[in-house]
Amino acid sequence: MRGIEGEQVLVRVYLGESRKVHHKPLHRRLLELLRREGLAGATVLKGCVGFGHDRTIHTASVECLAQDLPVVIETVDTPEHVDALLAKIDALMTGGLVTTERARVIRYGGGAR
């Protein structure tokens, strides 16, 4: 396991859960890409309500069927690793939003120190 403590880059990808690439959920394709490219780790978060550029509120409320709920994928890695990855993420994206910001990693890894 490689160390990534210190100043790194946080990448967030926002999209709707209904987005697909070759009949497979886009969030799953992106997660597989991040793993294949050796990123330090990634988490897919499913939202219960949100809206995007179309201003339509997507919700999981009882009154309507859950439709295109928001999904956020987060990963943190070195600036060099993230820079090499952004074009590959963009190539898969169909809509959505990708952001980056500085992140200070305090601890990375499993088990006791």
- CATH number at 6-105: 3.30.70.120
pLDDT recorded at residue 90: 95
Per-residue model confidence as pLDDT tens digits over 6-51? 999 999 999 988 899 989 999 999 999 999 999 989 999 988 777 7
Backbone angles phi, psi at 83, to 5 degrees: -60, -40
The model's pTM is: 0.82
Name the residue among 13, 1, 20 with its Cα closest to residue 75. 13
pLDDT digits (tens, 9 = 90+) for 57-93: 766 665 555 567 889 999 999 999 999 999 999 999 9
Contacts of 46 (CB under 8 A, 6+ apart): 17, 69, 70, 71
User: What pLDDT, on the 0 to 100 scale, is given for residue 87?
Assistant: 95
What is the reported pLDDT for 78?
93
Domain boundaries, the chain: 6-105
